[in-house]
Amino acid sequence: MGKKATIVKKINSAELLVENIVNGMQEVKAREIAILDMRDIKSAVTDYYIICHGTSNTHVEAISRSVEKETREKLGEKPAHIEGVSNAQWILMDYFSAVVHIFDETTRGYYRLEDLWADANIRMVKESA
């Protein structure tokens, strides 16, 4: 008898990071989570942008803490750089292969990053109930 062939789907480490970032966002009810796949855009500095917003500055901070906790506990990853925590209107977390943008709703509407990178493959994540 021959050996049984098994098919194993190889998960890209950046995709696993994105999954855990989204889980961290969903844990604290982040709003309108968008994943922008930047891999086919030559001028992009990262593979993915993950964008969401919170309902208040406190909520924006909570989302940031949840993302950091999720990635650290599940993957042993921490962001190389975090900006914007002091005013919590726009927190940026740089994981190299993924950059996280957590906005308050007004600031997100003003900058409209999804429109800026409209040529990216954009996937909206269903909000959890």
* This model's pTM is above 0.85: yes
For the chain, domains (ranges, CATH) are 20-124 (3.30.460.10)
The DSSP output letter for 97 is S
How much is the pLDDT for 12? 74
- Is the pLDDT score of 9 beyond 70? no
How much is the pLDDT for 6? 47
As given in the structure block, the two tokens for residue 62 are 């909570």
Sheet holding 98-104, edge to edge: 81-83, 90-94, 98-104, 48-54, 31-37, 121-124
Give the separation between CA 112 and CA 61, rounded to whole angstroms.
20
Instruction: Work out the pLDDT band at 127, boundaries 50, 70, 90.
Output: confident
Span 98-117, pLDDT tens digits: 999 999 999 999 999 999 99
